[in-house]
Amino acid sequence: MTAVSSTAISGNTTGWRAKLRKASFRGVEFGVTDAEGEGGRRTVTHEFPQRDLPYVEDMGLATAKFTLQAFVLGADYMDKRDKLKAALEKPGVGTLVHPYLGELQVAQGGPYKIRETAQDGGMAVFTMSFVRSDAPSNPTGTVNSSRSAKLFGSAAGSQACSSFDKAFVVAGQSAWVVTQSFALVTDTLQTVQQVMHGNMSTITGLLGAATGYQFGALASMGLAIWSAMQSMPLSGADSGDTASKWCDVAQRDVDVTEPQNAGQSRQLLMSNAVAVNTLVTRLAAVEAGTAMADAVPVSQSAATDMRHGLTDAVDAALDASYETDLSTANGAELAADADNYAASVTDMRVQALATVASAAQAAPTVVEVSTARPLPCLALSWRYGGSVANESDMVDRNGIVHPLFVPRGKLEVLRG
């Protein structure tokens, strides 16, 4: 008769034991004698009059709950006990290594119980309950770079206007200083208008009340100049082109040189000239960033040019300053205003550049191609650009005279 081993009868007794995990909670280890669990589905039973059978509504998985009978023992059991108590008393979600279920994210399902007896000296027994819970996820969002750029730009523009009102001096001055200072404003705005190709019709209305000795009729000369500048760009103009023009305004070359042996009135007029040009430079940088926040670059190379233009424009605005004596109260205020403007306009630049960089990801690239024979522009746009939508850009970019007959040679084409 063949003998049957006890191992063959009971099965492999080491299989399930090998899968057991060393139990712990928040890294504090303990032994486990009993483990209970609770789960299933959450249901709601609806009973209706005159119906024999109810309607059971499934509400999803029930909350998984675990109860562990745990222990710590040994000569140093008190230290182990205190560590486990501290882990159980911490708020929030923690990691439980369940001996049978593995690693779980759980929260306390209720107060723990602890038992210590003289009979079982050197051991503390815990009864712990847990509820399975994912770590709470914080709300996430993305920064609206375009709106942020406009908000920072608005703050920078207001600060620039406030500084200008302190630096531009006409109150109590002679008629010559007042009229010449007004002429500085109109001449500068006319120069800006030539760059922007905009409309000057509103400038007279905005500044007309300021002629002669009536500068006081304006609550803020700086805001009046800003309003005049904002009215210049042609309506419907491309935001990218508008931003580029404002960058040109900010970087314009202005030379305000005080003549030798100038009298007090001439010195004041020159100081006002510096103030006007400083304000226009600062506001031009603001308008460039605001326009760029709405710009959609036609290509990735155009986006790069826009970013470089805004960077240079803001640098020019940061370099612009008033001729003031920092030892005076007014000079100290202007220096503080300059710092505030610098912080706002720098933040505006960061957000505007982020907007352009994001838009550039979807923008096509400009490639150079060589054609072997004359072809219509529409066919070239389809062949090399993958779309007929870029035909007009090809005509403008390459100065094509006759779109139906494009000579062979090199062309720049939008692709994408």
pTM of the model: 0.57
Write down the pLDDT at residue 155: 92
Q: Where are the domains of the chain?
A: 10-132, 145-360, 365-415
Contact 106, 93 (CB under 8 A): yes
Rg of the chain (C-alpha set): 38
The pLDDT confidence band at residue 402, using thresholds 50, 70 and 90, is confident
State pLDDT tens for residues 293-310.
888 877 777 788 888 989
pLDDT band at 92 (very low <50, low <70, confident <90, very high): confident
- pLDDT of 130 > 60? The answer is yes
Domain 10-132, what fold?
Elongation Factor Tu (Ef-tu); domain 3 (2.40.30)
Residue 37 has pLDDT above 50, yes or no: yes
Which residue type does 91 have?
Answer: P
Residue 3 has a pLDDT of 43
Among candidate residues 253, 287, 33, the one with its CA nearest the CA of residue 157: 287
- pLDDT for 408 equals 81
